[in-house]
């Protein structure tokens, strides 16, 4: 799946990205040369659960090694501990691989907090909606901006 019209909701700045959803963990091969004309976001989604921290970090490392400029994880928490698992994986990845920015989030109402505090743990981007949510747990743009401005992390 390709999406070349991704934008940064925080600053509304158009950016050129190619988004891939990896159907295998880790990705089966490196990305084709033609992807190199844009930054590559490789996504791994788990719509049913949150894997253990070690697996989450392993997925991000595999995407990085396959050539992703921005590995992205989206997982479904079943408990508050699952949200913490994702945030811990984010922190570990960014501490051990600071050269590669990552995007991480827990989905659904339970995971919404990860979309607001992810930057504190190393997530380089969040997604917000200016009206209707396009993903489970996605938070309104006005709320995201207010929280990020309050935290003053960037």
Q: Tell me: the pLDDT tens digits for 99-114?
A: 999 999 999 999 999 9
User: Over 90: is that where the pLDDT of 11 sits?
Assistant: no
Task: In whole angstroms, give the CA distance from residue 84 to residue 102.
Answer: 16
User: Over 90: is that where the pLDDT of 57 sits?
Assistant: yes
CB 84 within 8 A of CB 116: no
Task: In whole angstroms, give the CA distance from residue 26 to residue 16.
Answer: 24
pTM of the model: 0.76
Residues designated as active site: 45, 72
- Number of Cβ within a 10 Å radius of residue 5: 9
Residue 77 has a pLDDT of 97
User: Any idea which residue has 């504190």 for tokens?
Assistant: 120
pLDDT band at 154 (very low <50, low <70, confident <90, very high): low
Q: Is the dihedral of CA 43, 133, 77, 150 positive or negative?
A: positive
């Amino acid at each position: 799946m390709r999406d070349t019209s991704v934008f940064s909701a925080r600053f509304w700045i158009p950016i050129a990205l190619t988004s891939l959803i990896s159907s295998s963990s880790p990705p089966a091969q490196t990305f084709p040369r033609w992807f190199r004309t844009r930054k590559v976001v490789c996504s791994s989604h788990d719509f049913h659960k949150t894997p253990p921290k070690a697996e989450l970090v392993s997925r991000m490392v595999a995407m990085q090694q396959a050539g992703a400029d921005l590995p992205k994880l989206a997982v479904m928490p079943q408990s508050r501990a699952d949200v913490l698992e994702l945030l811990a994986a984010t922190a570990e990845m960014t501490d051990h691989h600071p050269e590669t920015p990552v995007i991480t989030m827990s989905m659904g109402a339970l995971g919404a907090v990860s979309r607001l505090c992810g930057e504190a743990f190393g997530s380089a981007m969040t997604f917000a909606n200016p009206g209707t949510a396009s993903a489970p747990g996605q938070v309104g743009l006005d709320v995201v901006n207010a929280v990020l401005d309050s935290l003053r992390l960037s």
